[in-house]
Amino acid sequence: MGEVYKILVINPGSTSTKIAVYDNETEILDETIRHKKEELMKFDTIPEQKDFRFKEIERVLKEHDLDFSDIDAVASRGGIIKPMASGTYDISEKMLEDLVGLKSAALHASSLAGLIGYDLKKKYNIPAYVVDPVVVDEYQDVARLTGIPGVDRVSTFHALNQKAIARECAKDFNKKYEECNFVVAHMGGGISVCAHRQGLAVDGNNAISGEGAFSPERIGDVAPLRIAQLCYEEGYSLKDITDLCTKVGGMSAHIGTNDLRDCEAMIEEGDEKALLVFRTMAYQVAKLIGAMSVVLHGKVDAIVLTGGLAYSKNFTKLITEQVEFIAPVKLYPGEFEIIALVKGVLGVLNGEITPKKY
């Protein structure tokens, strides 16, 4: 038998911190720490939550009689920093500087994972890594340019889950990920749809900023002039627009909930507005899948639907009906981020992967 490594996984969300402990690929702890809104409202920015969440992680591990001296490595979900290639990265001082200093890093709770991982590395002398962060950039050049010189399109998507699922889907075809063409749609609070060509995500929508299909929390594509009018004619501040694009837009703005299950319950009760929002969101996802299939010149091995919304049979049925003429539709409901983080770090510990430098 090979050596058994104990890996601590950290995956923060907007109101929760998911942690897990694995012995190699065997789960021994899976815990979601829920944070009350009142607790988080004490902090002006997301990075300021770091010490609070750090102590919560220490508390939970202590409750489960897990000692940090037994942890061989930390696997952290990557934040919104500078673009990078796919892979496993050592959490370095330079990465810490950008997690603290870049304005973009403060937009999403995933940045807390790197900050907490770095602190654990220093306090307990444990190696700490991020795997396939949301800023993985494999775009082809024609996917970058916009009509505004100096303002390029940015690759920001659910890279960790998308790539993990694409690898699993490739196995179903008895192929390697690098041998397949997929359109992958991760559908959760945000929705990202990307064209994966032979192991590279060559185009997609910037899900963090709200580009693409509108989602339970994000606005999707809106005419730029209309956004400008909200700012200059209706008094929206930068914070107002940022919140609208990334937190309180989309389905939430239309019907007052970001939970698709609530939306479906409203439909069952005869709410026609909820039905329209539900159908429109599915329609926009399907339309984006169509666009990404064009990126792949129509040579698509499969269309892959994943994320929390993929649990809805009604939602995936609407999408499937519109896109199944392109390629077979494969469903992988939920998120596979935790095990993807584990595998990315386990490869380093086993000597199979050389960690990249940021």
> Regarding beta strands 200-204 and 191-197, do their DSSP bridges make them parallel or antiparallel, or are they unpaired?
antiparallel
Q: Considering the domain boundaries, does residue 165 fall inside one?
A: yes
Evaluate whether residue 124 is within a structural domain.
yes
Q: Cα(276)–Cα(139) distance, rounded to whole angstroms?
A: 33
Instruction: Tell whether 164 and 119 lie within a shared domain.
Output: no
CA dihedral over 137, 140, 141, 144, signed as positive or negative: negative
Euclidean distance between CA atoms 258 and 247, whole angstroms: 9
pLDDT at residue 246, rounded to an integer: 85
Q: Do 302 and 169 have their domain in common?
A: yes
- Helix or strand holding residue 183 (H, E): strand 181-187
Residues 216 and 257 in one domain: yes
Residues 314 and 176 in one domain: yes
Average pLDDT over residues 114-141: 95
Same domain, 128 and 214: no
Same domain, 130 and 159: no
Res 204 pLDDT > 70: yes
User: Which residues have a Cβ under 8 Å from the Cβ of 244 and sit 6 or more positions away?
Assistant: 219, 236, 253
* Two structure tokens written together for 151: 């303002």
pLDDT of residue 206: 92
- Both 281 and 344 in one domain: the answer is no
pLDDT tens-digit readout, 84-120: 999 999 999 999 888 888 777 666 788 899 999 999 9
Residue 1 in any domain: the answer is: no
Nearest-angstrom CA–CA distance, 112 and 48: 9
Q: Which residues contact 20 (CB under 8 A, 6 or more apart)?
A: 8, 9, 11, 27, 29, 30, 31, 338, 342
Answer yes or no: is 357 within a domain: no
As a whole number, the mean pLDDT across the chain is: 93
What does the alpha-carbon distance between residue 224 and residue 235 come to, in Å, rounded to a whole number?
16
How many structural domains are present in the chain? 2
Domain check: are 122 and 168 in the same one?
no
> Is 355 within a domain?
no
Asked whether residue 18 falls in the same domain as residue 158, the answer is no
The structure tokens 């429109």 sit at: 280
- The residue range of the domain holding 276 is 141-327
CATH of residue 60's domain is 3.30.420.40
Output the pLDDT for position 107.
67
Q: pLDDT by residue (tens digit) across 236-261? A: 999 899 889 988 999 999 999 999 99
Q: How confident is the model at residue 1 (pLDDT cuts 50, 70, 90)?
A: low
Task: Tell me the average pLDDT across 185-214.
Answer: 94
Q: Which of 45-49, 92-96, 140-144, 279-283 has the lowest mean pLDDT?
A: 45-49
Whether residues 67 and 177 share a domain: the answer is no
In a domain, 273, yes or no: yes
pLDDT of residue 106: 66
Other CB atoms closer than 10 Å to residue 356's CB: what's the count? 14
Q: Is the pLDDT of residue 230 over 60?
A: yes
Instruction: Quote the pLDDT of residue 259.
Output: 93
Q: Is residue 345 domain-resident?
A: yes
Res 352 pLDDT > 70: yes
Q: What's this model's pTM, rounded to 2 decimal places?
A: 0.89
What is the pLDDT confidence band of residue 165, given thresholds at 50, 70 and 90? very high
207 and 295 housed in the same domain: yes
Q: Is residue 356 domain-resident?
A: no
Contact status, residue 19 vs residue 29, Cβ threshold 8 Å: yes
Q: What is the pLDDT of residue 234?
A: 93
Q: Residue 315: is it exposed, middle or buried by C-beta count within 10 angstroms (0-12/13-18/19+)?
A: buried
199 and 266 share one domain: yes
pLDDT for res 207: 87
